[in-house]
Structure 1
Amino acid sequence: MQVTTSDLTQIWAGFHALSEPLRLQIIELLHSHELCVCELCNKLEVSQSKLSFHLKTLKEANLVRARQEGRWIYYSLNLAQFIVLEQYLAEYRRFGDILPARGCD
């Protein structure tokens, strides 16, 4: 897999976004269906301003999508970006058999 600098930037953003517990909770809630901001606020018991900061990070990492319907914004997972992260990590599985064993000297 040939990874460009642009790819690496997007991959880094994805892992950075997933490194925060509240953002992982958001991902878990969006796993089965899209939710509006008010539903996310209620389920996570956080203020809209705090949630907006985390949703912005997830959007910048391309992990979630937003769509507006009337005055509400609905969020859903961008599964294609999760596949990119998964494929990046999968590249390292192929090295499992050739890595030297770690031992104590």
Structure 2
Amino acid sequence: MHPLIKRFLMDYQEWLDNGASEPHYLFDRGSGLCVQLGKYLRRQPISEETVDTLCKSFTYLLPDNDTNLPFNVDVLDYMMECSDGRCHLNQRRINWIKSQLESK
């Protein structure tokens, strides 16, 4: 795992552990991890090409390399989760983050 991706997961987990407050300068409750990672990386001193490369490599870490809905039942489930600002509460997402941080 690239160090910036690991740092992202650590910072996201810390945000969760501290109550996932909003507004937050990096994270929000209504976006999945891929969107959050892109925003996070664009605040780092790296090129847009590197951002794109890291975002693409991140998808290979997701369960079954599923870039569409790795933590949701279907599109409607994900859309409702986003619109209700509940992405940060998705237990499958939380468990995956924890497993990545424990294994890497």
Give yes or no for TM over 0.5.
Answer: no
Higher relative contact order (CA 8 A, sep 6+): 2
Q: Which has the higher strand share?
A: 1
- Structure number with the higher helix fraction is 2
Find the structure with the greater CA-based Rg. Answer: 1
What TM-score does the superposition give when structure 2 sets the normalisation length?
0.37
